[in-house]
Amino acid sequence: MEKLMQDLKEQIIKQLNLQELTPADIGDDQSLFKDGLGLDSIDALELIVLLQQNYNIRIANPEDGPKIFASVRTMAEFITANQKS
């Protein structure tokens, strides 16, 4: 899971064009929205695209978004639980 979280940090920086950040700047449990990285609803759409493109995972229920995208760790847990082998 550590490798997956590291990969996610790199993908988030690239997908959201956050060149001012490095993966080390993003904590595993740091909030991605609000008081954390301060991402917004447009960024949330980009994260959904990231899951679809990189992990072939679609979010069936949009109401699950806030808990899936709470942190890098919650994203990694969701990917691990939903990725088809």
Taking the CB of residue 41, how many other CB atoms lie within 10 A of it? 8
Q: With contact defined as beta carbons under 8 Å apart, do 67 and 61 qualify?
A: no
Does residue 16 belong to any structural domain of this protein? no
Range of the domain at 6: 2-11+28-82
Amino acid identity of residue 31, one-letter, is S
Q: How many domains does the chain have?
A: 1
Is 43 part of a structural domain of the chain?
Answer: yes
**CATH assignment of the domain containing 61:** 1.10.1200.10
Q: Is residue 36 part of a domain?
A: yes
pLDDT digits (tens, 9 = 90+) for 2-61: 999 999 999 999 999 999 999 999 999 999 998 899 999 999 999 999 999 999 999 988
Q: In angstroms, rounded to a whole number, what is the distance separating the alpha carbons of residues 84 and 9?
A: 21
Residue 72: is its pLDDT beyond 60? yes
Residue 34 lies in a domain: yes
19 assigned to some structural domain: no
Whether the predicted pLDDT of 84 surpasses 80: no
Confidence of residue 85 (pLDDT cuts 50, 70, 90): low
Is residue 56 included in any domain, yes or no? yes
Return the number of other C-beta atoms located less than 10 Å from residue 35's C-beta: 7
* Distances in whole angstroms, Cα of residue 42 to Cα of each of 4, 16, 24: 23, 9, 23
